[in-house]
């Protein structure tokens, strides 16, 4: 699934096209990665210098400096970042209910993990948080940093500090990584009233971040995700997060397809981005990721609801005995 509000932001800002923002924000980013034809049609009227024959991926994020790791604070020091109450959502097209009353509270500086069987609604929940138009919220509330997230467009959510890394990052043929990131970053800076960074300044900004994800500089000149291995794509996602920053990074199966070295690199990079003020919500099936990125809380989703919350012992139990050990059905 392709979804790219950093991209949307970058494009709309770069071309000064308010119609892009208003009329296509909710459409363009969400095209499935195989819908080449519809992507071409959708983009055909836009003044792109890029070749957007295929899909566009999304990075939703805001600017916030991220440097030192830290995940545990006493409750008195923490402030609420995200509060989801009784959230229900249906698939927009079929009205099939997928989320059936999700409750979740995340404080600044916390790392939360969501586990659960395939098809339990984890990715749907993540996508509903960033405003994916495949889904309609039918009840409940989402408050992010004191604002009603459901009232915000996907791009506004991104500017408010949400970043989502998708389960399957897609390619953007003809667009180099560095151009993509520079443009997305500058769009944010403009929104914040900051001066844009030119290519040389941006290179100086991004260069140290390559180290963080253990990426070579030639990745910057390659087209976004084109020909990248699974591990390289995931590193690239984290590089985007490092460049754009986010108060809440939602990482959907960031560990899928990674060998243990790549997993360690990605986890190290994520840990390097944690501060007392931001948080991570990661979806995973595997204990091994949680051993690298230590969660404050683990939740188990089943049939569109969080049915259990606890500490790392839940993941250990799941690893040993499978979901039947905690299933409510």
Maximal C-alpha separation, the chain: 57
- Binding pattern to ligand ADP, positions 170-209, x when CB under 6 A? ----------------------------------------
Tell me if 118 contacts ligand ADP by CB under 6 A: yes
Residue range at the interface with ligand ADP (CB under 6 A); choices 60-68, 116-124, 266-274, 321-329:
116-124
- The residue from 47, 119, 198, 310 that contacts ligand ADP (CB under 6 A) is 119
Q: What is the three-class DSSP state of 60? A: coil
Tell me if 91 contacts ligand ADP by CB under 6 A: yes
Per-residue tokens: 164: 């989502």
- Closest separation in Å from C-beta 32 to ligand ADP: 9
Size of the residue set binding ligand ADP (CB under 6 A)? 11
Q: Taking CB within 5 to 8 Å according to partner kind, which of ligand ADP, Mg ion, none is near residue 121?
A: ligand ADP
The answer to whether 144 and 84 have CB atoms below 8 angstroms apart is no
Can you tell me which residue has the tokens 């400096």? 65
Q: Which residues bind Mg ion (CB under 5 A)?
A: 122-123
Element (H, E) at 135: strand 135-144
- Closest separation in Å from C-beta 304 to ligand ADP: 8
Tell me if 38 contacts ligand ADP by CB under 6 A: no
Q: Taking CB within 5 to 8 Å according to partner kind, which of ligand ADP, Mg ion, none is near residue 120?
A: ligand ADP
Q: What is the three-class DSSP state of 258? A: coil
Per-residue tokens: 59: 């990075």
Say how far apart CA 153 and CA 162 lie, in whole Å.
12
State which residue, 12 or 55, has the beta carbon closest to ligand ADP.
Answer: 55
The answer to whether 173 and 160 have CB atoms below 8 angstroms apart is no
Say how far apart CA 119 and CA 101 lie, in whole Å.
16
Say how far apart CA 293 and CA 204 lie, in whole Å.
28
The answer to whether 109 and 276 have CB atoms below 8 angstroms apart is yes
Q: Taking CB within 5 to 8 Å according to partner kind, which of ligand ADP, Mg ion, none is near residue 116?
A: ligand ADP
Residue in 279, 177, 288, 157 with CA at minimum distance from that of residue 237: 177
- The residue from 122, 188, 234, 235 that contacts ligand ADP (CB under 6 A) is 122
- The residue from 83, 134, 156, 196 that contacts ligand ADP (CB under 6 A) is 134
- The residue from 29, 109, 116, 154 that contacts ligand ADP (CB under 6 A) is 116
Q: Binding residues for ligand ADP, per CB under 6 A?
A: 91, 98, 116, 118-124, 134
């Amino acid at each position: 699934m392709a979804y790219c509000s950093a991209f949307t932001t970058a494009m709309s800002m770069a071309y000064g096209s308010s119609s892009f923002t208003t009329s296509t924000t909710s459409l363009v980013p969400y095209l499935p990665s195989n819908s080449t034809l519809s992507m071409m049609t959708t983009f055909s009227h836009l003044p792109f210098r890029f070749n957007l024959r295929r899909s566009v991926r999304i990075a939703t994020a805001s600017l916030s400096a991220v440097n030192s790791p830290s995940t545990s604070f006493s409750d008195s020091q923490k402030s609420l970042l995200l509060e989801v109450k009784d959230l229900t959502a249906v698939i927009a097209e079929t009205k099939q209910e997928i989320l059936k009353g999700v409750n979740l509270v995340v404080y600044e500086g916390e790392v939360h993990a969501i586990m659960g069987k395939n098809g339990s609604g984890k990715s749907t929940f993540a996508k509903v948080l960033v405003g994916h138009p495949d889904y309609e919220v039918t009840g409940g509330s989402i408050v992010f940093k004191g604002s009603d997230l459901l009232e915000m467009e996907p791009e506004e959510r991104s500017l408010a500090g949400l970043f989502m890394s998708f389960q399957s990052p897609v390619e953007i043929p003809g667009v180099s990584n560095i151009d993509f990131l520079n443009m997305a970053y500058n769009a944010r800076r403009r929104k914040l009233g900051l001066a844009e960074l030119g290519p040389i300044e941006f290179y100086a900004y991004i260069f140290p971040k390559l180290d963080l994800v253990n990426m070579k500089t030639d990745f910057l000149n390659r087209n976004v995700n084109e020909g990248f291995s699974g591990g390289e794509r995931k590193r690239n996602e984290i590089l985007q997060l490092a460049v754009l920053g986010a108060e809440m990074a939602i990482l959907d199966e960031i560990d899928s397809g990674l060998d243990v070295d790549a997993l360690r690199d990605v986890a190290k990079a994520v840990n390097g981005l944690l501060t007392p003020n931001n948080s991570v919500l990661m979806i995973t099936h595997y204990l091994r990721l949680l051993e690298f990125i230590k969660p404050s809380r683990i939740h188990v989703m089943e049939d569109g609801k969080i049915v259990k919350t606890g500490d790392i012992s839940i993941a250990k139990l799941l690893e040993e005995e499978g979901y039947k050990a905690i299933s409510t059905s």
